[in-house]
Structure 1
Amino acid sequence: MKSFSDYIINTKVLKQNAINIKTLIGSNIKLCAVVKANAYGLGVETVCKTLFGIVDFFAVSNVSEGLGIRVFDKSTKIVVLGMTSLENLGICSQNDISISVSNLQMCNKILEYCSQNKVYLNVHIQVNSGLNRYGFRKIAEFIKAIKLIDKSEYVSVEGVYSHFATKQNDVEFIKKQFMRFNQFKKYVQSKKVVFHIANSFATTNNRIFKLNMVRNGFLIYGGTKNNIENKFVLEIKSKLVNIFEVKKGDTIGYDRTYLVKSNMKIGVVPLGYADGMDRRLSNNFSVLICGKKCPIVGLICMDVFMVDLTGVDCELYSEVVLLGRQKQNSISIDDYAKAMNTSPYEVLLGFNYRRMNYVIKK
């Protein structure tokens, strides 16, 4: 069924973005692509198939996401960044999915389960360097966990990692976290272990943070400002499905939040807050039509929103750009984040291609 709207993933750009990162970090450093939450909403199968053979690891949030990748990719290493229940350890072992260990109690339970059930498992030990979410806080407990795992016949340490709490807004705290992480790292003797803490910002801005693996999400998708020419991989386009005139004194949309101050031409775009056009954009954002910025007027509805077309030379089914470039103007994910006073991550994940044509641009 053909929709009026297109959700366009540029896999050529995606692949080049990953290659740019690999070129930056060098051949001795591994690249872990973060593909949790359906690859930030972009479509995990499309993303993973495009990155196959370029990246060394895929990072997911839970076991279910990892199993979804294993349907079409049997070989790329997968690590679960979230917590994994004991009941899922067997299926992780069978599908070569590594899990995270974040405290000594969990470590003991995993070791006991794997020993009793003869389950072989790779783990990544998480260090709490300052985010205060998951991870070992005490070095003594971390050392004890390493020693216990080293004695195990079934469990092996594949990685040790942490999460930075900030990006470019607090570089000093990043350095503090990195120093804290190194206090744990020095107690791991194996040269086979991958150490990863560098996020997208740290990867492009300071070589010392890279260690022997970097873990990137937004940088691969081109959603963050960078110095390696990575471009955003997503465009969203639609069409005008209705055009009509309104007179001074009329109101537009639910709750009559927009009062028409002079005669206007109005257009209707068939996407709404169910598709990711957040209601915070109501009367607060513009889209591109015929190269012009056209303001959203009235409250955004569940399935449609209205725009001011006054003075714009357009017609029924004219192209509407919600994300991307049209002639000399463009709309970025950061533009949305600024208008909504939120993170570009939330914006990207908010877009939902349920009613759009999912288009792979190669």
Structure 2
Amino acid sequence: MKTLLCEIDLGAIRHNYRLLQRHAGAARVVGIVKADGYGHGDVPVAMALQREGCSHFAVARVHEGIKLRQAGIEGEILIMSGSFPSEFSALREFNLSTVVYTEENIEEMISAGITAPVHIKIDTGMNRLGFRPQKLEQVYQTLQRAGFDIKGVMTHMASADEPGASSIQQQEDLFFQTTDSFRNGLQEHITNSAGIFTLGKLGTLARPGIMLYGANPLPESSIDLRPAMSFKTRILQVKPVYKGEGISYGHTYIAKKDMTIAVIAAGYADGYSRLLSNRARVLVNGELAPQVGRICMDMSMVDITHISAKRGDEVVLFGEQQGRRIYAAELAEIMGTIDYEVFCSISPRVKRMYTGS
């Protein structure tokens, strides 16, 4: 094993894709592989999904779409954050679809003579990107007159991961009422991961992101997702610390008794957040060990007084070891964030290793 690595189980991602496709029914699942596949590796994940039959992919930026196409990803690749004039030629060269959500962007494309495949985004309540729903017909007509290949109409849910939220039904109703007269031949997509399980209607495409990677934004529900990422490191040194001594910067942890600590090769530069200091726990030889002292840039310390361990032993920051598991969601809760951010924060210097292809 490398000193520090993320193990990515592509078999788990393929399992999650099949599960989500079953739940999505007639709606085709789009492989969301933006942000380097939520830190899991965009190309390996997309290739695994393509082998599983996925024919639609989506990323946030044009350069992400280029990377996928150059790696041999076929089918539609959608740029969800749209594109700027400097990127228009790449849309044509690499056969990328782009989302349009402003009149200015449409005018830029028309002026440049670019009529790339487009998806129109309407804002049904997220109040992020998108046209107001009442503008859809005007936008559609403008694009049609200019000769654009209009592939679909889309929106984004604000609270799909909060079952019972009134905005779910409001957004769903507004979207399908707005798109009712545009359905012939157009793809409709409204749902993210949670929406597959909380919306009454999904349209023709579904856009699960985080669930593809095995994290569940609906913790109260029982969904057979398989976590795909394990974050692992090794012990650099085992050493005694005596009662009353402080550990790490600022001595924010003072030993209450004689103890044994392990210095491990993982710090905030690797994506093991400083916010976890004195609050997280890791797995060492199948046992839970609390993290102690401030997390440093490249190292952290854990209390292994109760564990027999030595230099070079594996340490699991999140993932499974000897039948026990720490979930990324546990770290996210400590940090006051979501597991999406935990995955995306893992540094590029952390080696990715793939299994289950």
Check the 8 A contact 2:50/2:73 in 1, yes or no: no
Change (3 A) 1:55 1:35: same
Deviates more, 1:248-257 or 1:71-80: 71-80
Q: Pick from 194, 202, 211 the counterpart of residue 219 of structure 1.
A: 211
Deviations 1:84-133 (A, max 9, x none): 1123222202211011111233323323332xxxx341100001111111
- Aligned residue for 1:289? 284
Q: Distance in 2 between matches of 1:211 and 1:43?
A: 28
Q: Distance in 2 between matches of 1:136 and 1:62?
A: 20
Check the 8 A contact 1:29/1:212 in 2, yes or no: yes
The reply on whether 1:145 has 2:143 as its aligned counterpart is: no
Gap regions ≥5 residues in structure 1? none
Runs (4 or more) in structure 1 with deviation over 6 Å come to none
For 2:82, the aligned partner's letter is: M
Check the 8 A contact 1:237/1:322 in 2, yes or no: yes
Deviation at 1:74, TM superposition (A): 4.7
Give secondary structure in 1 for the equivalent of 2:8. strand
Q: Distance in 1 between matches of 2:343 and 2:223?
A: 21
Q: Distance in 1 between matches of 2:73 and 2:352?
A: 25
Q: Distance in 1 between matches of 2:46 and 2:305?
A: 43
The reply on whether 1:309 has 2:308 as its aligned counterpart is: no
Gap regions ≥5 residues in structure 2? none
Give secondary structure in 2 for the equivalent of 1:338. helix
Check the 8 A contact 1:13/1:233 in 2, yes or no: yes
Q: Pick from 229, 252, 255 the counterpart of residue 257 of structure 1.
A: 252
Q: Distance in 1 between matches of 2:117 and 2:348?
A: 35
Give secondary structure in 1 for the equivalent of 2:191. coil
For 2:3, the aligned partner's letter is: F
Give secondary structure in 2 for the equivalent of 1:182. helix
Q: Write the mapping of 1:158-197 to structure 2, written as runs, cut at 5 A.
A: 158-169=151-162, 171-189=165-183, 191-197=184-190
- Aligned residue for 2:72? 73
Q: Number of residue pairs matched?
A: 351
Q: Distance in 1 between matches of 2:35 and 2:73?
A: 20
Give secondary structure in 1 for the equivalent of 2:156. coil
For 2:78, the aligned partner's letter is: V
Check the 8 A contact 2:109/2:115 in 1, yes or no: no
Q: Distance in 2 between matches of 1:215 and 1:270?
A: 36
- Aligned residue for 2:324? 329
Q: Distance in 1 between matches of 2:348 and 2:93?
A: 32
- Aligned residue for 1:39? 37
For 1:156, the aligned partner's letter is: D
Deviates more, 1:180-189 or 1:91-100: 180-189
Check the 8 A contact 1:204/1:227 in 2, yes or no: no
- Aligned residue for 1:229? 224
TM-score (norm 2): 0.94
Check the 8 A contact 1:288/1:294 in 2, yes or no: yes
Check the 8 A contact 2:267/2:299 in 1, yes or no: yes
Q: Distance in 2 between matches of 1:319 and 1:259?
A: 26
TM-score (norm 1): 0.92
Deviation at 1:20, TM superposition (A): 1.5
Q: Pick from 133, 137, 143 the counterpart of residue 128 of structure 2.
A: 133
Q: Distance in 2 between matches of 1:227 and 1:58?
A: 26
Deviations 1:209-247 (A, max 9, x none): 311110011111111156441211011122211001111
User: What root-mean-square deviation, in Å, do the aligned CA atoms of Structure 1 and Structure 2 show?
Assistant: 1.7
Give secondary structure in 1 for the equivalent of 2:117. strand
Deviations 1:163-182 (A, max 9, x none): 11123325321111111212
Q: Distance in 2 between matches of 1:156 and 1:44?
A: 27
- Aligned residue for 1:18? 17
Deviations 1:239-276 (A, max 9, x none): 21100111111110011111111101010110100011
Check the 8 A contact 1:79/1:97 in 2, yes or no: yes
- Aligned residue for 2:202? 210
Q: Matched residues, percent identical?
A: 27
Check the 8 A contact 1:202/1:209 in 2, yes or no: no
